[in-house]
């Protein structure tokens, strides 16, 4: 047994069986002061206030805070090389669409990935995975989508599997063959190729994704691809409404998507489509920040009774950063979420958006002991407020320091 005692603030306590938070529940987070938490066999055994039970290995939090490790439900961290040249184009004033139309963007990453060995791709991705874990992320989803042909998509999915097998963080894999039309294909031929890839992808992936947006894939393409995914047992988690009100939210909900992600341009029709569904609206404020796009209407979604998850979208083109504490801060500073709402969005609801919220994403007895221990003096409100000050003393995944 391990006991962390003298915790100033233990935040993110969720009753057993609560798998997501929506509407007014977004304002709930169990917080205990002067608390302790006990870990056994990698799981949260118990927690409480005052004097901790005797025995076991003791860690003195010295008034520091303990919260659940972050759950990042949307990333593209398996990529090769860098797109810093496009960063300069962006500074010169080109938009994301203009860079993509000139053969930059996703196709540029696909060319780089094609020329990179599986071993080297794994090595580069692991640098980012370690960075994310050091920033407090304990569960992450990783997408393919820089292959854009059968051999390279499977190469990416094998790299994700290898990451899953080698890190203590929980890793979920998503097949995003439909990220852009691969080189050498017509649009229709590529949609058919993605459908043909799906059964093999399903042997490596948990979810299927489509970039359903203006200039990429239509709602009709998306429906065809999601049907192929369903036949192969893959639940959708899709990209929608980043560049336009694309119809992506509606097609995602109609196909039982676990999440619909981006939503920078979502209107009332999207909110109406999501109400009463099992789909978690997921917003990616890091890409709004980096691309200068509108931020998602998280407060309106919550007022309509919906939940919201926030994720990093860590990728080389629209969000080259995977620090979920910064995502949380953007949620508060730019989307006007309260710290409590933002914490729910980056922990429990992020876990839900990966199908992992029965296992991690909160302080709940029996869940994985995926915990962040802060240095002394931190509170939930200070995390997004003092948003650049280092706060992490130790990250525990399965109760083991990373």
Residue from the set 8, 182, 286, 317 that interacts with ligand NIG by CB under 6 A: 317
Residue nearest ligand NIG (C-beta atom): 317
Residue 296 touching ligand NIG (CB under 6 A): no
> Min. distance of Cβ 313 from ligand NIG in angstroms?
5
Residue 141 touching Fe ion (CB under 5 A): no
**Separation CA 378–CA 387 (nearest Å):** 12
Q: Are strands 392-397 and 400-401 parallel, antiparallel or unpaired?
A: antiparallel
Q: Which residues pair with 210 in a beta bridge?
A: 178
Residue 301 touching ligand NIG (CB under 6 A): no
Residue 14 or 330: the one with the smaller Cβ distance to ligand NIG is: 330
Residue 286 touching ligand NIG (CB under 6 A): no
Residue nearest Fe ion (C-beta atom): 313
> Min. distance of Cβ 239 from Fe ion in angstroms?
5
> Min. distance of Cβ 178 from ligand NIG in angstroms?
11
**Separation CA 296–CA 394 (nearest Å):** 32
**Do 158 and 113 contact (CB within 8 A), yes or no?**
no
Residue 349 touching ligand NIG (CB under 6 A): no
The CA-CA-CA angle for residues 279, 281, 283, to 5°, reads 155
**Do 65 and 378 contact (CB within 8 A), yes or no?**
yes
> Min. distance of Cβ 227 from ligand NIG in angstroms?
22
Residue 76 or 393: the one with the smaller Cβ distance to Fe ion is: 76
> Min. distance of Cβ 135 from ligand NIG in angstroms?
19
Residue 313 touching Fe ion (CB under 5 A): yes
**Separation CA 1–CA 113 (nearest Å):** 44
CA quadruple 233, 361, 282, 314: dihedral positive or negative? negative
Residue 66 or 201: the one with the smaller Cβ distance to ligand NIG is: 201
Residue 159 or 383: the one with the smaller Cβ distance to ligand NIG is: 159
**Do 398 and 139 contact (CB within 8 A), yes or no?**
no
**Separation CA 220–CA 210 (nearest Å):** 11
Q: What are phi and psi of 312, to 5 degrees?
A: -85, -30
**Separation CA 395–CA 402 (nearest Å):** 6
Residue from the set 8, 64, 68, 105 that interacts with ligand NIG by CB under 6 A: 105
Query: Which does residue 318 touch among Fe ion, ligand NIG, none (CB within 5 to 8 A, set by kind)?
Result: ligand NIG
DSSP letter assigned to residue 23: G
DSSP letter assigned to residue 296: P
Residue 313 touching ligand NIG (CB under 6 A): yes
Which stretch, 166-174, 292-300, 315-323, 361-369, contacts ligand NIG (CB under 6 A)? 315-323
Which stretch, 28-36, 105-113, 311-319, 377-385, contacts Fe ion (CB under 5 A)? 311-319
Nearest residue to 110 (alpha-carbon basis) of 144, 85, 60, 63? 144
Residue 76 touching ligand NIG (CB under 6 A): yes
Q: How many of the chain's residues bind ligand NIG (CB under 6 A)?
A: 13
Residue from the set 75, 116, 318, 349 that interacts with ligand NIG by CB under 6 A: 318
Helices 150-166/106-114 angle, 10° precision: 80
**Separation CA 271–CA 249 (nearest Å):** 9
Which stretch, 104-112, 130-138, 150-158, 184-192, contacts ligand NIG (CB under 6 A)? 104-112
Query: What part of residues 224-243 is at the interface with ligand NIG (CB under 6 A)?
Result: 239, 242
**Separation CA 322–CA 300 (nearest Å):** 26
Which stretch, 20-28, 48-56, 103-111, 301-309, contacts ligand NIG (CB under 6 A)? 103-111
Q: Are strands 309-310 and 371-376 parallel, antiparallel or unpaired?
A: unpaired
Residues that bind ligand NIG (CB under 6 A): 76, 105-106, 109, 211, 239, 242, 287, 313, 315-318
């Amino acid at each position: 047994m391990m006991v962390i005692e003298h915790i100033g603030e233990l935040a993110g306590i969720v009753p057993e069986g609560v798998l997501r938070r929506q509407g007014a529940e977004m304002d709930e987070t169990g917080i205990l002061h002067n608390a302790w938490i006990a870990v056994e066999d990698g799981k949260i055994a118990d927690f409480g206030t005052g004097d901790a039970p005797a025995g076991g290995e003791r860690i003195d939090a010295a008034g520091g805070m303990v919260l659940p490790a972050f759950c990042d439900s949307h990333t593209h961290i398996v990529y090769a090389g860098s797109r810093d040249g496009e960063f300069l184009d962006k500074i010169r004033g080109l938009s994301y669409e203009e860079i993509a139309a000139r053969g930059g963007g996703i196709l540029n990453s696909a060319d780089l990935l094609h020329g990179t060995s599986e071993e080297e791709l794994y090595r580069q991705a692991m640098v980012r995975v370690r960075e994310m874990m050091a920033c407090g992320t304990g569960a992450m989803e990783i997408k393919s989508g820089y292959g854009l042909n059968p051999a390279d998509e499977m190469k990416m999915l094998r790299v994700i599997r290898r990451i899953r097998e080698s890190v203590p963080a929980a890793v979920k894999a998503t097949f995003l063959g439909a990220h852009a039309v691969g080189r050498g294909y017509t649009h229709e031929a590529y949609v058919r190729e993605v459908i043909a890839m799906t059964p093999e992808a399903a042997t490596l992936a948990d979810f299927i994704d489509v970039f359903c947006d203006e200039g990429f894939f239509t709602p009709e393409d998306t429906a065809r691809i999601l049907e192929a995914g369903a036949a192969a047992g893959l639940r959708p988690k899709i990209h929608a409404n980043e560049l336009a009100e694309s119809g992506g939210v509606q097609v995602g909900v109609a196909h039982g998507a676990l999440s619909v992600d981006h939503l920078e341009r979502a209107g009332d029709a999207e909110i109406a489509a999501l109400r009463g569904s099992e789909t978690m609206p997921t917003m990616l404020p890091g890409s709004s920040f980096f691309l200068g796009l509108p931020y998602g209407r998280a407060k309106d979604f919550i007022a309509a009774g919906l939940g919201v998850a926030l994720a990093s979208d860590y990728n080389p083109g629209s969000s080259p950063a995977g620090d979920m504490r910064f995502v949380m801060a953007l949620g508060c500073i730019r989307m006007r979420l309260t710290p409590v709402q933002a914490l729910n969005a980056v922990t429990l609801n992020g876990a839900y958006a990966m199908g992992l919220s029965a296992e991690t994403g909160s302080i709940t007895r029996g869940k994985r002991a995926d915990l962040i221990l802060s240095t002394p003096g931190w509170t939930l409100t200070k995390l997004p407020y003092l948003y650049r000050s280092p706060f992490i003393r130790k990250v525990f995944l399965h109760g083991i320091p990373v």
